[in-house]
Amino acid sequence: MEQVMPRKSQLAQVLTQAEQKALRAAKRAARAAKIIRGATVPPVCALFMLLILFFLCPGFFYSTSNFAFAIVYLVVLPTLAYPVAFVFKFSKDSFKNNQRKLAVIFSVIGYAALLCMVLTNGYNIGELVLYLNYVISVALIAITTPIPHCKASGHACGAAGPIAGLSYFVSPWFLALGAVLLTAVFWASLKLRRHTPGQLVAGAMISAVFVVAAAASGLI
C-alpha cells in the first residue's frame, strides 16, 4: 500500500502546535520563576528568620525591643525600596537596575541603623553577629553593584544568610531546607536572566561565610 505523505499545510499546523505548546510551557516557567523571586526577596527571608529565632530560640534577642527594631530595619525599611521604585517612574529598560540600587541603599541605611541601635541599647552575641553579617554583606553587595558583570546577587545573599543563621542557632536541619530554597532561587534567577551562576554563588557565599567564620573562631 502506498504511504500517504502529510501535506505541507498539515505539517505546518503540527509544527505550530508544538511551538505553541513550548511557548505556553516557557510562560508557565517564567511565571513560576517570578513567584519564587518575589517570595524569596531578602526582607521576606529576614522576616521568617527573625520570627523563627524569636519563637524557637528564647533569649536570642537581648530584649523584645531589639526584636522589634530588627523587624523594622531588616524587613520594613528595605521593603520600602520596591514601591519607591515605582514613584520615580524609571524607564522600562532601566527599572530593574534602578530598583536594585534603591534596594541596596535602603538596606544599607536600615542595617546600619539597626546595628547602631542595638549597640546603644544592648545585645546578645548572636544578635551582634547576625547584624554584623547583614552590614558587611550589604556593603560588599554595594561595592560590586556598579561593576559590570561582577555584581554579586543580593537575592542569593539575602537567602543564604538566614539559612546559615538558622542552621547554626536553631537546627542543622535548616541546611537541607536551605538547599532546596537556594536551588529554587538559583533556578528562578537564571531562568529570568537576572544573574549569572557566578554572581549567584558569590552572593550566597558573602553572607554564609561570615556565619561560618564566626562559628569557627568561637565568637558564637
- What is the tens place of the pLDDT at every residue in 74-124? 999 999 988 887 887 777 777 777 887 888 889 999 999 999 999 998 999
Closest to 97 in 3D by CA, of 37, 162, 146 = 146
164-218 pLDDT tens trace: 999 999 999 999 999 999 999 999 999 999 889 999 999 999 988 878 887 777 7
CA separation for the pair 165, 152 (Å, rounded): 20
Query: Hey, where are the domains in the chain?
Result: 33-216
Q: Tell me what the pLDDT averaged over the chain comes to.
A: 87
Put simply, whether the predicted model's pTM sits higher than 0.75 gets the answer yes
Q: Which residues contact 158 (CB under 8 A, 6 or more apart)?
A: 40, 41, 42, 43, 45, 46, 207
Q: What is the pLDDT of residue 171?
A: 94
Q: How confident is the model at residue 146 (pLDDT cuts 50, 70, 90)?
A: confident
Question: With b meaning 16 or more CB within 10 Å and e meaning fewer, what string describes 138-173?
Answer: bbbbbebbeeeeebbbbbbbbbbbbbbbbbbbeeee
